[in-house]
Amino acid sequence: MNHMDGRSFSAAQDFLLEAKKFWTTQMYPLLRQQDQAMAATGAGPVHARMQQSDLYPFFAWMERHLQRMKYAGRYGLAPWHDTQRAELEQHLSAISIDIVPGFALPPYYRSFDVHQHPGGLMGDSLAGFVYERGARSTTPLDKHFDLHHRFTNLIAQWMQPQRILDLGCGFGKSTRPFAQTFAQAQLTATDLSMPCLKLARHLDAKEHIGHVTYLQADACASGLPGARHDLVTSTMLLHELPLPHLRELFAQAYHLLEPGGWTVHLDFLPQVQPGADEFTHFIHAGHSVRNNEPYMQSLAAFDLKGHLQGLGFSDISIEPFAENDQALQADYPFWRFPWTVVKARKPL
């Protein structure tokens, strides 16, 4: 029987977060040092060097199993939220979200437990709550809140969008900074996950945000009328899409934008990071496998610029993004996601 209470849940989750920080700030720099020393002695390519490493198996085990324990362990997010099921379901019971005509869930979406979330984001009515709590420590050294605001602030440097579409909005964490920064804008936010969309609306109400329209829609077959938006954006969506869907997402963005509008995406691309080398790529590919993110590697290998050019976009840029003030220094020592901003314009 599980005797979890709030205190034991918090203590266990705090322990896991501290272990993840140790992995990020101690194990990763040590592994990199070890790899550089091996490379200097000509010990073959990075995967061969890591085969010889005594540290790499522990590094890999920690990455996989800290995340597993965070979500599904005895004191995990899924069992903890289950203990409060009735109360949490009550918060969402009166919320109804529109579904776009012709909506169909793409089959890939429920075929694996994305980032080790049991059942994924559609497997349970509480999936949004579980994901919201989990996302608070996605980047263990930085507040995730800062990341989303930094992205919105970056966009505000060159445009003041009036009609914004946030694709793959989850529980609204990427949407709310847009709603706050561009308070006069019309905002639409879409996702496949109904539990996340309902939570997004619930959290908006708590923050007195009332001008976001949430819709259940596939970002790659949106069912929305074209040429209605001056900004089509996403945060952490691209790496969740199989290649044919990724291609389609940008075709959709082109269709949905007004002439002169921008499409801007925050996601992960190791190759554009300062100082990126074969170790960077190896660690990113390993993360994809260990964290159940099967499409991260096809995104990293995809010719995004060529695809955007082929669709007719102009002003294309693909640049690293700093989630904190030090992150893009070439000697930044800690593990980090290879945050990248992909930006392109539909010509006038």
Residues forming contacts to ligand SAM in the complex (CB under 6 A) are 106, 109, 121, 135, 167-170, 173-174, 190-193, 196, 218-220, 235-237, 240, 245
- Residue whose CB is less far from ligand SAM, 75 or 131: 131
Q: Rounded to whole angstroms, how far apart are CA atoms 190 and 175?
A: 10
Please answer whether residues 169 and 131 qualify as being in contact, where contact means their C-beta atoms are separated by less than 8 angstroms: no
Give me the half-sphere count of Cα atoms (radius 13 Å) on the Cβ side of residue 157. 6
CB atoms within 10 A of CB 282: 18
Q: Rounded to whole angstroms, how far apart are CA atoms 348 and 318?
A: 21
117-to-59, 61, 95, 293 alpha-carbon distances in Å: 21, 17, 24, 11
- Residue whose CB is less far from ligand SAM, 16 or 219: 219
What is the nearest approach in angstroms of ligand SAM to the Cβ of residue 105?
A: 9
Q: Residue 84 in 3-state DSSP? A: coil
- Residue whose CB is less far from ligand SAM, 245 or 345: 245
Three-point CA angle 158, 170, 11, nearest 5°: 115
**CA 139 to centroid of chain Cα atoms:** 10
H-type alpha helices, the chain: 6-22, 28-40, 46-52, 56-72, 77-82, 85-92, 127-135, 144-156, 175-181, 194-206, 243-256, 278-290, 296-301, 304-311
- Residue whose CB is less far from ligand SAM, 204 or 240: 240
What is the nearest approach in angstroms of ligand SAM to the Cβ of residue 167?
A: 6
- Residue whose CB is less far from ligand SAM, 122 or 311: 122
What is the nearest approach in angstroms of ligand SAM to the Cβ of residue 168?
A: 3
Residue of this chain nearest to ligand SAM (CB atom): 170
What is the nearest approach in angstroms of ligand SAM to the Cβ of residue 13?
A: 19
What is the nearest approach in angstroms of ligand SAM to the Cβ of residue 201?
A: 14
- Residue whose CB is less far from ligand SAM, 174 or 263: 174
What is the nearest approach in angstroms of ligand SAM to the Cβ of residue 192?
A: 4
